[in-house]
Amino acid sequence: MKWSVTVDSRVVKVDPAALPDLQEVEPGVYSLVQDGQSYEIRVAHVNGAHQVDVAGRRLIVDATDPHRAAPRRRTEGPQTIAAAMPGKVIRVLVKEGDAVETGQGLVVVEAMKMQNEVQSPRAGRVIAVAATAGSTVAAGDVLVTIE
Cα-flanking dihedrals φ and ψ of residue 16, to 5°? -55, -25
The site map against another protein for 111-140 (x = CB under 8 A) is xxxx-x-------------------x--x-
Residues in the chain: 147
Residues in 41-80 that interact with another protein by CB under 8 A: 41-46, 50-59, 61, 63-64
Cα-atom radius of gyration of the chain, to the nearest Å? 20
- Calculate the CA 25 to chain-centre distance: 27
Residue 69 is classified by DSSP as: P
Counting contacts by CB under 8 A, is residue 103 touching another protein? no
Nearer to another protein, 86 or 125 (CB): 86
Counting contacts by CB under 8 A, is residue 25 touching another protein? no
CA distances from 145 to 8, 43, 47, 111, 112 (A): 25, 32, 21, 22, 26
Instruction: Report the nearest approach of another protein to the CB of residue 121 (Å).
Output: 14
Cβ atoms within 10 A of the Cβ of 128, count? 13
Q: Which residues bind another protein (CB under 8 A)?
A: 3, 5, 7-8, 10, 12, 14, 16, 18-19, 22, 24, 26-30, 32, 39, 41-46, 50-59, 61, 63-64, 84-88, 111-114, 116, 136, 139
